[in-house]
A and B are shown apart, each in its own frame.
Chain A
Amino acid sequence: MSLEFLVASAIAVLTSAGIWLTLRGRTFQVVLGLAMLSYAINVFLFAMGRLVIDKPPIWGKDVTEYADPLPQALVLTAIVIAFGMTALVVVLALRTFLETGTDQVDGLADVTADDDAA
């Protein structure tokens, strides 16, 4: 088993879980799903620089082998932006819930927990 396989399969698993969760019709699950997708996409972008072990992109005169710094820089901002997006979506979900009294986003009539339990 190679490290590349581990990363690729982890991306696959995280993406699948993210997609499945965002397709649930409640805001909280959508937020969870988006968080999972963010992990998957960030790792995916990072992996575009190929995998390197123990060679951080710190410049040195004699260093010739290093991890690709460019995808790292892009992913760094992507992580922070993903945080901003998650925060906004959570707050949007909260406000929607407070405004409408439901956290459903599937366009269906509200199914409350009580009905479900019955």
Chain B
Amino acid sequence: MVLILLCLLPFAGAALVGLLARASRGQQALVAGATTAAALALLLVQAGDVLGGEPVSAQVAWVPSLGLSFSLFLDAWGLLFAGLILGIGLLVIVYARFYLAAADPMGRFYVFLLLFQGAMLGVALADNVLLLLIFWELTSLTSFLLIGFWGHKAEARQGARMALAVTGGGGLALIAGLLLLGQIAGSYELSAILRSGDAIRTSSLYPLALVLILLGCFTKSAQFPFHFWLPHAMAAPTPVSAYLHSATMVKAGVFLLARLWPVLAGTDLWFALVATTGLVTMLVGASIALFKHDLKAILAYSTVSQLGLLTMLLGFGTPMAALVAVFHFLNHAIFKAALFMNAGIVDHETGTRDARVLGGLATLMPISATVGLVTAASMAGLPPLGGFLSKEMMLEEAAHTAWGGAGWVVPVLATLGATLSVAYSLRYAVHVYLRKRHADTPLTPHDPPFGMWGPSALLALGAVAAGLFPMAIAGRLVRAVAGTVTGGLAPIVTLKLWHGLTPALAMSAFAIIVGAVMLAGHGALLRGWERLPVPSAKGLFDRGMSALLAVARGFTLAVQTGSLQRYLAVLFVTAVAVGIAGMSSGGYAPGDRVTLPASPVAIVGWGVLLIGTIAVLRAHRRRFLALIYISVIGLIVSLGFVYMSAPDLALTQITVEVVTILLLLLALNLLPKQPVRLGTTFARFRDGVIALAGGGCTGFVAWAVMTRSPNDPISAFHWAQSYPGGGGTNVVNVTLVDFRAFDTFGEIIVLGIAALAIFALLQTATRGASGQRLRAWLPDLVRSPERHPMMFAVATRLLLPLAMLVGVYIFLRGHNQPGGGFIAGLVISIAILMQYMASGFEWADQRRRLDEHAMIACGVLIAAATGLGSLAFGVPLFTTAYGHFTLPFVGEFELATAMAFDLGVALTVVGAVMQALAELSHVAQRAEKDAPSEFPMDVDPARASEEPS
């Protein structure tokens, strides 16, 4: 459980910092730092057990059917990585507090940083590989936010996009790879996968799974040829670079490689792919780093190179090489984070990061210079620093590794890589701090405040300590981690500075001497380098992306023509075709159920419906006429419901009909009304064929179903349980508010959302192009001389209480007799709408006491509360209770919790209907440009002046 708390702490911290948006920068930093420190403390408490070889684990089932569980475990490898994530995270939080300018939104920065930290921590701790994938993708997303933090800069946006495209794309491959791995192992739990190494390596799916997983790891860890995103991610603020591109994000790939080392490593394919990629990346990164001038670019390419080194070591596939990789993993995180912070300090204090301009800063900023020199020396692999130890051990491993039968390839190239890394590290040290100052920097350099250099100084101390007292500092940790990573195969080694006269020592000495010579001849080398035709990976990436976008755009434009007709036609034709295919293969035919005779009334109604439909079709261009005709159809449908034993439906249909027609009338007032010929004759005929096919098929299916008896109707249950279970005799209402209350709850939410969308669409309609059209709109209909006839106004006002009473009555009886919340809501809406119609929007709106938004919200909340309330009694969601009570004068009556739910329904319906119509009226009023009238029963002055006096 401690692990789950640990994993969630950064996310909680992010939420907390987010809530403190108005707090001072110091407070925000304090909260972010305190969360991280707390998480670090939680982690360290468990270090003893974990290093003693007892992993800690925690598990919560999530989606067991998919094999997905929220299971975490902490072994030594996870401990090391999580420790780096949290430890360096804490230092970066302190550093960023002083680094970021006053104009940068500090709170947002810490929120992103903590989210990223939580995602990384999840990667380090996840036991379930599906969970690991979720966190892995989260790191891609959150790093996107961090890299693009300065979103106003084009290169920040580009860098963020590129990082997301490359690491996110790799993440997709990783998903496939890990799923395959889980399939082979038969479990998605890492601890189980790690036990089935033999099964995995001999599986026929192994090569495929390996390549996919490597794609994920290589993109994340910026291995050649996917290395190009990392330098572009340097557009991020330096604290982000120090965090993401030294210790955490880019290390995630290496972390996973090492995590899966026991099951994947050791095959020829593994060596060929991983060791070679690592070797190439190391050389490519180191060569480019030597010839960059931007300090952060130098560090970025050096990171690429060092990640290549780590990958190569893991690729060797020997336990000893894996141990060295683990040790260098630690060393690199320490010196690289410090170097990035150091470069940030130089940038911050001098105003430039150009190595050609800088120089001689050692005397001007002595503290920063000391830190920079020590950590650069560690990166170069100079004794007696941590970097020297691990690099020498790397050379030792390389010295006896053969590549494709050639024994010299790996040692020579590894020495070359080490030489280049000496050269670029020394260049950083010499060109920034040691050589003579030869140009003025934009700012006068001086040491920054303690908060800025403190974190990097601490890391530099760590680099020194790791070199001088390796066993005391890292010995136990490295042994435990190496044991975990290799599955217990790692040899017990003693880390020490002096290994005696070994080949590695000679290679090291060669690297240092030649590296120094290369730096001396840097100018000449640079001229040579600039003549080399180096293909730009970014250019390739950009061309690839634009080609991809062109294809996507072409496809979209071909499919999305902007013609609703075409989309609908495709939809209808497909539906008809699929329907016909289904019917013909399913042997559909009319059944033999006894049919009901059609009474003369039914035939008349049917005839009216037919006439109404034909009238709508004929009049569809004369819009008001069409509305009148369509309301006839609605009326017949309601009557049909009454006739066919559905009183609830009839009530709903007729009330909905009224509000729909009102709504359409209001909208139509503003829409163009001229009759337009729609489509060519051919198009009308073609659409007619589609329409007849669709209608015919639907009618036939309805006929086929109605003429056969129902097969085991589930409604029998609803009927039987309605009164004993739900306490109501109106089975339809009981079904709505009880059996299927959750469903109804969803429906009223949909209704509320529709009303809010209408609000959003129309509130903003008075601005911009839409607002201009509204202002230019002219009434194009003949107005009634009396806008608000007195008879109408008086009658509706008298009717208001009565209509309300009817609504309440329908509501109250709904559980037992036709009625209920939906119908009551609609009836009450109509009662209020009558006031709007009779007395005008302005008048009615001023006298309105209820807010539609509040009504919708209250309705949904009441319904939700009724549903959740049942949980408090230990019964499932939306379970209802009812009882019978007696009151004097009233007599016995029933109360059910479902009634409260129904009240929520009614409130939402009233709110939604009123919202839709009020917004339309509001816009119409804007268009009419009416001066608000004080008189509800006003007489149009235009008419008064026309009348002879």
Q: Are A108 and B563 in contact (CB under 8 A)?
A: yes
Task: Tell me which residues across on chain A come within 8 A of B691, comparing CB atoms.
Answer: 15-20, 23
Task: Tell me which residues across on chain B come within 8 A of A32, comparing CB atoms.
Answer: 616, 620, 626, 630
Closest CB in chain B relative to A107 CB, distance in Å: 3
Q: Are A105 and B699 in contact (CB under 8 A)?
A: no
B653's partner among A73, A79, A106 (CB-CB below 8 A) is A79
Q: In this assembly, does B757 line the interface, its C-beta being within 8 Å of a C-beta of chain A?
A: yes
Q: Are B645 and A53 in contact (CB under 8 A)?
A: yes
Roughly how many angstroms separate A104 CA and B644 CA in the complex, as a whole number? 40
Interface residues in B, total, Cβ within 8 A: 121
Interface residues of B in 691-741 (CB under 8 A from A): 691-692, 694-696, 698-703, 705-707, 709-710, 713-715, 718-719, 722-723, 728-733, 735-736, 740
Known: A75-B649, A87-B754, A101-B773. 4 other contacts (CB 8 A): A36-B613, A42-B637, A53-B643, A91-B920
B731's partner among A31, A59, A108, A112 (CB-CB below 8 A) is A59
Roughly how many angstroms separate A105 CA and B671 CA in the complex, as a whole number? 14
Roughly how many angstroms separate A52 CA and B744 CA in the complex, as a whole number? 25
Interface residues in A, total, Cβ within 8 A: 95
A80's partner among B670, B747, B923 (CB-CB below 8 A) is B747
Roughly how many angstroms separate A39 CA and B638 CA in the complex, as a whole number? 10
Q: Are A76 and B648 in contact (CB under 8 A)?
A: yes
Q: Are B706 and A50 in contact (CB under 8 A)?
A: yes
Q: Are A73 and B626 in contact (CB under 8 A)?
A: no
Interface residues of B in 664-690 (CB under 8 A from A): 664, 667-668, 670-672, 674-679, 687-688, 690
Q: In this assembly, does B569 line the interface, its C-beta being within 8 Å of a C-beta of chain A?
A: yes
Roughly how many angstroms separate A47 CA and B595 CA in the complex, as a whole number? 13
Roughly how many angstroms separate A3 CA and B770 CA in the complex, as a whole number? 50
Task: Tell me which residues across on chain A come within 8 A of B769, comparing CB atoms.
Answer: 98-101
Closest CB in chain B relative to A113 CB, distance in Å: 3
The 5 sampled A-B contact pairs (Cβ below 8 Å) are: A10-B610, A12-B699, A13-B613, A75-B649, A91-B920
Q: Are A58 and B817 in contact (CB under 8 A)?
A: yes
Q: Which 9 A-B pairs give the minimum distances between C-beta atoms?
A: A12-B699, A16-B695, A107-B563, A113-B674, A2-B595, A107-B562, A67-B645, A69-B731, A20-B691
A23-B687, A26-B678, A50-B706 given; A113·B729 CB < 8 A: no
Q: In this assembly, does B597 line the interface, its C-beta being within 8 Å of a C-beta of chain A?
A: yes
Task: Tell me which residues across on chain A come within 8 A of B732, comparing CB atoms.
Answer: 57, 69, 72-73, 76
Q: Are A12 and B695 in contact (CB under 8 A)?
A: yes
The residue in chain B whose Cβ has the minimal distance to the Cβ of A21 is B620
Closest CB in chain A relative to B71 CB, distance in Å: 41
Roughly how many angstroms separate A32 CA and B700 CA in the complex, as a whole number? 23
Roughly how many angstroms separate A79 CA and B657 CA in the complex, as a whole number? 10
Roughly how many angstroms separate A18 CA and B563 CA in the complex, as a whole number? 18
Closest CB in chain B relative to A44 CB, distance in Å: 5
The residue in chain B whose Cβ has the minimal distance to the Cβ of A90 is B667
Task: Tell me which residues across on chain B come within 8 A of A59, comparing CB atoms.
Answer: 719, 722-723, 728-731
The residue in chain A whose Cβ has the minimal distance to the Cβ of B723 is A59
Chain A interface residues toward B at CB < 8 A: 1-32, 35-36, 39-40, 42-44, 46-60, 66-73, 75-77, 79-88, 90-95, 97-101, 103, 105-108, 111-113, 116
Closest CB in chain A relative to B623 CB, distance in Å: 6
Q: In this assembly, does B912 line the interface, its C-beta being within 8 Å of a C-beta of chain A?
A: yes
Q: Are A28 and B613 in contact (CB under 8 A)?
A: no
A21-B617, A36-B633 given; A79·B656 CB < 8 A: yes
The residue in chain A whose Cβ has the minimal distance to the Cβ of B747 is A77
Q: Are A36 and B707 in contact (CB under 8 A)?
A: no
Q: Are A106 and B563 in contact (CB under 8 A)?
A: yes
Task: Tell me which residues across on chain A come within 8 A of B743, comparing CB atoms.
Answer: 77
Q: Are A106 and B706 in contact (CB under 8 A)?
A: no
Segment touching A, from B230-238, B360-368, B598-606, B839-847? B598-606
Q: Are A52 and B644 in contact (CB under 8 A)?
A: yes
A23-B687, A84-B912, A87-B754 given; A69·B715 CB < 8 A: yes
Closest CB in chain A relative to B312 CB, distance in Å: 57
Closest CB in chain A relative to B764 CB, distance in Å: 8
Q: In this assembly, does B349 line the interface, its C-beta being within 8 Å of a C-beta of chain A?
A: no
Roughly how many angstroms separate A80 CA and B648 CA in the complex, as a whole number? 12
Roughly how many angstroms separate A24 CA and B617 CA in the complex, as a whole number? 11
Roughly how many angstroms separate A90 CA and B666 CA in the complex, as a whole number? 10
Q: Are B765 and A95 in contact (CB under 8 A)?
A: yes
Q: In this assembly, does B486 line the interface, its C-beta being within 8 Å of a C-beta of chain A?
A: no
A58's partner among B678, B729, B774 (CB-CB below 8 A) is B729
Closest CB in chain B relative to A98 CB, distance in Å: 4
The residue in chain A whose Cβ has the minimal distance to the Cβ of B770 is A98
Q: In this assembly, does B909 line the interface, its C-beta being within 8 Å of a C-beta of chain A?
A: yes
Task: Tell me which residues across on chain A come within 8 A of B602, comparing CB atoms.
Answer: 3, 6
Closest CB in chain A relative to B641 CB, distance in Å: 7
Task: Tell me which residues across on chain B come within 8 A of A100, comparing CB atoms.
Answer: 769
Q: Are A25 and B564 in contact (CB under 8 A)?
A: yes
Task: Tell me which residues across on chain A come within 8 A of B747, comparing CB atoms.
Answer: 77, 80-81
Q: Are B688 and A66 in contact (CB under 8 A)?
A: no
Q: Are A70 and B644 in contact (CB under 8 A)?
A: no
- 0/1 string, B758-779, CB within 8 A of A gives 1: 1001100100111001100000
- 0/1 string, B852-865, CB within 8 A of A gives 1: 00000000000000
B596's partner among A2, A35, A42, A103 (CB-CB below 8 A) is A2
Q: Are B758 and A87 in contact (CB under 8 A)?
A: yes
Task: Tell me which residues across on chain B come within 8 A of A111, comparing CB atoms.
Answer: 676
Closest CB in chain A relative to B915 CB, distance in Å: 9
Q: Are A36 and B695 in contact (CB under 8 A)?
A: no
Task: Tell me which residues across on chain B come within 8 A of A25, comparing CB atoms.
Answer: 563-565, 678-679
Task: Tell me which residues across on chain B come within 8 A of A66, comparing CB atoms.
Answer: 645, 719, 731
Closest CB in chain A relative to B540 CB, distance in Å: 37
Roughly how many angstroms separate A47 CA and B703 CA in the complex, as a whole number? 9
A106's partner among B564, B675, B677 (CB-CB below 8 A) is B564
B718's partner among A1, A55, A69 (CB-CB below 8 A) is A69
A91's partner among B572, B617, B637, B916 (CB-CB below 8 A) is B916
B676's partner among A22, A79, A80, A113 (CB-CB below 8 A) is A113
Task: Tell me which residues across on chain A come within 8 A of B916, comparing CB atoms.
Answer: 87, 91
Task: Tell me which residues across on chain A come within 8 A of B596, comparing CB atoms.
Answer: 2-4, 51, 53
Roughly how many angstroms separate A51 CA and B646 CA in the complex, as a whole number? 10
B688's partner among A7, A8, A20, A73 (CB-CB below 8 A) is A20
Closest CB in chain A relative to B909 CB, distance in Å: 7
Q: Are A53 and B644 in contact (CB under 8 A)?
A: yes
A72's partner among B603, B648, B699, B722 (CB-CB below 8 A) is B648
Task: Tell me which residues across on chain A come within 8 A of B475, comparing CB atoms.
Answer: none
Task: Tell me which residues across on chain A come within 8 A of B664, comparing CB atoms.
Answer: 31, 86, 90
Task: Tell me which residues across on chain B come within 8 A of A7, comparing CB atoms.
Answer: 640, 644, 702, 706
Roughly how many angstroms separate A14 CA and B564 CA in the complex, as a whole number? 21
Q: Are A16 and B637 in contact (CB under 8 A)?
A: no
A23-B690, A69-B732, A77-B736 given; A8·B700 CB < 8 A: yes
Q: Are A5 and B598 in contact (CB under 8 A)?
A: yes
The residue in chain B whose Cβ has the minimal distance to the Cβ of A30 is B564
Q: Are A29 and B598 in contact (CB under 8 A)?
A: no
Closest CB in chain B relative to A7 CB, distance in Å: 7
Roughly how many angstroms separate A28 CA and B569 CA in the complex, as a whole number? 17
A47's partner among B670, B706, B817 (CB-CB below 8 A) is B706
Q: Are A8 and B678 in contact (CB under 8 A)?
A: no
Q: Are A79 and B652 in contact (CB under 8 A)?
A: yes
The residue in chain B whose Cβ has the minimal distance to the Cβ of A101 is B773
- 0/1 string, B912-948, CB within 8 A of A gives 1: 1100100110010000000000000000000000000
Task: Tell me which residues across on chain A come within 8 A of B744, comparing CB atoms.
Answer: 77
Q: Are B561 and A107 in contact (CB under 8 A)?
A: yes
